[in-house]
Amino acid sequence: MKLMLKTLSLAVACALAPTTLMAEQTTEQKIAQLEQQVKALQKQQTASLTDKFQFNGFVSGAYISADNDAGYNGSDNSTNLSQDSKLGFQGTFSISDNTQAVLQLMMRGEYDWEVEAEWAYLSHKFDNGVQLRGGKLRVPLFMYSDYLDVGYAQPFARPPEEVYGNIPFSSYTGAGISYDVEYDESTLSMQAFGGESDVKNTNVNLSNLMGANLSWTDEVWTLRGVYATAVLDGDITRTSQVPIAVPPSSPPTFMTVESVLMTLDDARGEFVGVGASYDNGEMLAVFEWTRVETEGAFPDSDSGYITLGYRIKAFTPYVTVAYIESQDNDERMPVSAQTALQKIVFNQERTAYSLGLRWDALDNLAVKFDLTYANEFGDTSGGLSGNSATFNPLTGAFMYDDTLVYTVKFDAVF
């Protein structure tokens, strides 16, 4: 009997052994299959995120020098490798087919490579074609506003200082709305914007910033008009070096003094600009004219430029003539020591002539050479900070009546 029971137990064990082994194998296979499915899902999600994210950047490096210390574009008679050098990164994340988040980080040599967000906004395009953006945006005042920091997208070594340097801010926090009307062979673009801004490294703030622009292009001709207004508040200051009395045998000692030139209190400013360009792939012509008016003692000014260029394979020689002139000098005649100082600093008149060459060395790299001569200052400093500091009250004259600036620059995108 015992022998029969042992035999039966052994038979049952032998019968169950394959079933247990198969169950263990089935469990391992299921686990392996689940792991493969998880990995596949992770790859799909990673691929999906990669498809939604777009990254690009741009970089500029420049050598600038001048024949004197008048201060055109921050240059003097020493080597300057920072003024026009910059590095930017831009990321675009597609939240949906019609909604994007955009962030552009900028580092500029003139600001000691401090990292700042130049763009940081959300954009949504509705089914009817209306696009709405909100956040930190570029102020769309000029022909090259969208590419203001992307030197590779510009034909010249730098946008003409007489026009682009007259507005001391480039972005604002607020919202913008735009709409494009497509014709058979051209596009009409309408844009309105509003928000607030400030002037970097100053105490001046802009509120109630509002404006609109209208542009038309057929990819060869482009016509553009813009109007903007804002309320300005804050102190406009000037930093100067004041000599300290020392014994005659000692070297001169200077003290840095910051003085308030003007206080803006709810001063309304207005900007009007028109522009046109022609580019048929060989011949290039660009024109812009602007007027800036501000209430109070701050100067009203007109400025403009015209650039002509011609592409010869990888080379584009160009010439530019630009000017700026304050228009209300007689209305701001000095009646006190402060207004006399305002006249010295703010009155400006200048014409600049540029001769340059762009060489497209690679598909994403351009090397540029530029020679700019500025003169015709009239009885002003030419609007140049270095020259305004040289005013001689005994003669009523400034040290420099012209300046010559040399620039070698590379612009790249990646």
- From 262, 139, 156, select the one nearest 211 (Cα to Cα): 139
Instruction: Check pLDDT > 90 for residue 21.
Output: no
Q: Judge contact between 324 and 338, C-beta under 8 A.
A: no
Comparison of pLDDT for 346 and 190, the residue scoring more: 190
Instruction: Check pLDDT > 70 for residue 326.
Output: yes
Domain ranges of the chain: 126-413
Instruction: Check pLDDT > 60 for residue 181.
Output: yes
> pLDDT grade, residue 342 (50/70/90)?
confident
Comparison of pLDDT for 315 and 296, the residue scoring more: 315
- Relative to beta strand 283-294, strand 53-66 is unpaired
Instruction: Check pLDDT > 70 for residue 352.
Output: yes
Highest mean pLDDT among 123-132, 297-306, 383-392: 123-132
Share of the chain above pLDDT 90, in %: 71
When the pLDDT of each residue in the chain is averaged and rounded to a whole number, the result is: 89
> pLDDT grade, residue 33 (50/70/90)?
confident
Instruction: Check pLDDT > 50 for residue 3.
Output: no
Mean pLDDT for 188-197 is 98
Q: What is the pLDDT of residue 335?
A: 46
Q: What is the pLDDT of residue 339?
A: 61
Q: What is the pLDDT of residue 340?
A: 67
Collect contacts of 150-153 with beta carbons under 8 A, ≥24 apart. Answer: 150/58, 150/88, 150/411, 150/413, 151/58, 151/60, 151/84, 151/366, 151/368, 151/409, 151/411, 152/58, 152/364, 152/365, 152/366, 152/411, 152/412, 152/413, 153/413
Which range has the worst mean pLDDT, 245-254, 265-274, 284-293? Answer: 245-254
Q: What is the pLDDT of residue 240?
A: 56
Comparison of pLDDT for 207 and 263, the residue scoring more: 207
Q: What is the pLDDT of residue 201?
A: 82
Mean pLDDT for 27-51 is 70
> pLDDT grade, residue 250 (50/70/90)?
low
CATH number of 126-413: 2.40.160
> pLDDT grade, residue 16 (50/70/90)?
very low
> pLDDT grade, residue 241 (50/70/90)?
low
Which range has the worst mean pLDDT, 276-285, 376-385, 388-397? Answer: 388-397
> pLDDT grade, residue 358 (50/70/90)?
very high
Instruction: Check pLDDT > 90 for residue 77.
Output: yes
Q: What is the pLDDT of residue 263?
A: 87
Q: What is the pLDDT of residue 307?
A: 99
